[in-house]
């Protein structure tokens, strides 16, 4: 698979990738004998092969799962006691 030439817009994109997410993606891709870039390419190709309504439904579901996960992490971290105050009797 050849990578497509970069255009000015992609060169200017500032994409931050979480290191843990990248390591996990690299591990999963390697199970299939792929690089992360190849896995992303095939993932997007599969998404684009869906009909428009299927694609919208799929991406909407992914977004809902992401938001639920993000909210869960937020509320879970906000419930933690401030440093040095855990298990303290009031």
Q: What pLDDT digit, counting tens, does each position of 29-65 carry?
A: 999 999 989 998 998 899 999 999 999 999 999 889 8
The answer to whether position 67 is within a domain reads yes
In the predicted structure, residue 28 carries a pLDDT above the cut 60: yes
Q: How many domains does the chain have?
A: 1
The answer to whether position 69 is within a domain reads yes
The answer to whether position 85 is within a domain reads no
The answer to whether position 55 is within a domain reads yes
Helix residue spans in the chain (DSSP H) = 8-12, 19-31, 36-49, 52-78
The answer to whether position 83 is within a domain reads no
Rounded to whole angstroms, the Cα distance separating 59 from 47 reads 9
The answer to whether position 5 is within a domain reads no
Backbone angles phi, psi at 6, to 5 degrees: -75, 140
Rounded to whole angstroms, the Cα distance separating 22 from 26 reads 6
Evaluate if pTM is beyond 0.85.
Answer: no
Structure tokens at 10: 């992609």
Name the residue range of residue 23's domain: 14-78
């Amino acid at each position: 698979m050849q990578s497509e030439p970069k255009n000015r817009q992609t060169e200017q994109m500032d994409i931050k990738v979480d290191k843990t997410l990248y390591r996990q993606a690299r591990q999963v891709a390697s199970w299939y004998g792929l690089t992360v870039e190849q896995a992303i390419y095939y993932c997007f190709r599969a998404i684009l092969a869906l009909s428009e309504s299927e694609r919208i439904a799929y991406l909407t579901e992914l977004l809902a799962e992401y938001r639920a996960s993000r909210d869960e992490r937020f509320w879970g971290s906000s419930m933690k006691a401030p440093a040095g105050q855990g298990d303290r009797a009031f």
